A and B are shown apart, each in its own frame.
Chain A
Amino acid sequence: MIYLDYGATSFHKPPAVYRAVERAMRTCANPGRGGYGAAMEASRQVYHCREMAAKLFDCLPEQVALTTSCTHGLNIAIRSRVKPGGRVVVSGFEHNAVTRPLHALEAEITVAGRRLFDWADTLEGFDRTLTPGVDACIVTHVSNVFGYILPIEEIAQMCRERGIPLILDAAQSAGCLPVKLKTLGADFIAMPGHKGLLGPQGTGLLLCGGEVQPLIYGGTGSASMEQAMPEYLPDRLEAGTLNVPGYAGLAEGLRFVHRTGVEAIFQREHRQMRRCAEGLKKLGMSVFAGEHQAATVSFLPGMDCEEAAQVLAKQGIAVRAGLHCAPFAHESTGTVSTGTVRVSFGHDASDAKTDVFLRAASKLPRFRK
């Protein structure tokens, strides 16, 4: 299989990730609960993951809350900052992981900047809408559909200057772009553990720069006599038994990212995204490509996008078609009715894989005529 759906999850992990998961399953009990060897080993594995993440994202280990997914983290962040009926500003490229929790809160959503790959439009939109009374600014770092890298440093600066909490969705950027909690001054940065960070599914991280409200309540292994959740991080957000094998694997994914370097990973993925976009254009496809683009490219195949993805799947190519859980993004580009086919590259991107994909794309029915 030629796997080009890294926007959904990383499929080929570094071998150390698989080993760490199995080792943890065989050696770890419940972390932060007991004092015997297997419980202490579980605590060590969990702390190791926190420590690796803190190093990569420039924060303290206790600011790294372990979640089950990026969506879980975003829900905590949104519930911590947005009151029911509150006002929020979002980009025109948000995922349902952001917009559905806001809908549930009946928040008043203002969309800032709809034009793809256009930083001037995006910044003008945020500048106009980040006004007093806004509960939070919630922005995706990279569009999961189009790979658009938003000007997050400039948006963060606006938020800091205007005293508006920033929640960053780093689902597509963690592991391939610099993401720094301290530098951005964000209130929260949410990310999955299983995409660019190469950990197992069922893992995520929420970097906390401010006060938090728990989403779930229960045992934390600390302050057990208190019926209120602990006030301190990370315990405040981590009720219940943690996914120790998952975080042990994630720690190895983080180690791989550290060792390889975020910039090197980005360059490798970006080169293949460019080759792919150029190749698709030569085939006559409508391709969404531009400046400020990460490792994801969407295109219109000239036939139903789901059918195109099925044809590609039969040739061993894994891409994702449809709306990608991001109707806001498709509204911005006018592709709600058609969807797109999304090709997203990962740490193992190569010329050979891109070439196989392009050969398969050239055989899509429209181009056989």
Chain B
Amino acid sequence: MKNYYITFRSVTYAQRGERLLNGSGIRCTLQRTPRWMEEQGCGYALKLWTSDVIPAVDLLREDQISLRRVYVQRGDGQLEELTV
């Protein structure tokens, strides 16, 4: 299991994503996006506990939920942006 973060432009998209992923068995929680992840300022993110983030991203895209970025938390605690 790893921690992933998916960021969204709007809290509404993040909430729809939260419903979708939790309903599909991918555990996630809604939280504010850390400031450094969002250069436009202010946003919401989903924190996921999963072994693979790709199915979550695929689900969001299939449901036309617009996401901004995906990050993974490395073993040393640092977050790294992923290209998915």
Contact = CB atoms under 8 A, between A and B. Distances in A.
Interface in A173-208: none
Interface residues of A, number: 24
A222 to B, nearest CB: 5
Interface in B30-84: 30-32, 39-44, 64, 66
B32 A235 contact: no
Given A34-B32, A40-B30, A232-B66, A221 B11 contact: yes
Contact of A32 (B11, B41, B64): B11
Size bin of chain B's contact surface: 10 to 19
B11 A62 contact: no
Contacts of A47: 11-12, 15-16
Interface string A25-56: 00000011011000010011001001100000
Contacts of B9: 222-223, 230, 232, 235
Given A223-B9, A232-B66, A235-B10, A61 B16 contact: yes
- Residue of B11, B15, B32, B41 ringed by the most chain A CB atoms within 10 A: B11
Contacts of A224: 40-42
A226 B41 CA distance: 8
Contacts of B19: 51
Given A61-B16, A62-B16, A232-B66, A222 B11 contact: yes
A225 B39 contact: yes
A232 B11 contact: no
Interface in A204-231: 221-226, 230
A62 B32 contact: no
A222 B15 contact: no
A233 B10 CA distance: 8
B11 A225 contact: no
11 contacts: A32-B11, A32-B44, A47-B15, A60-B64, A61-B16, A222-B42, A223-B42, A225-B39, A225-B40, A232-B10, A235-B9
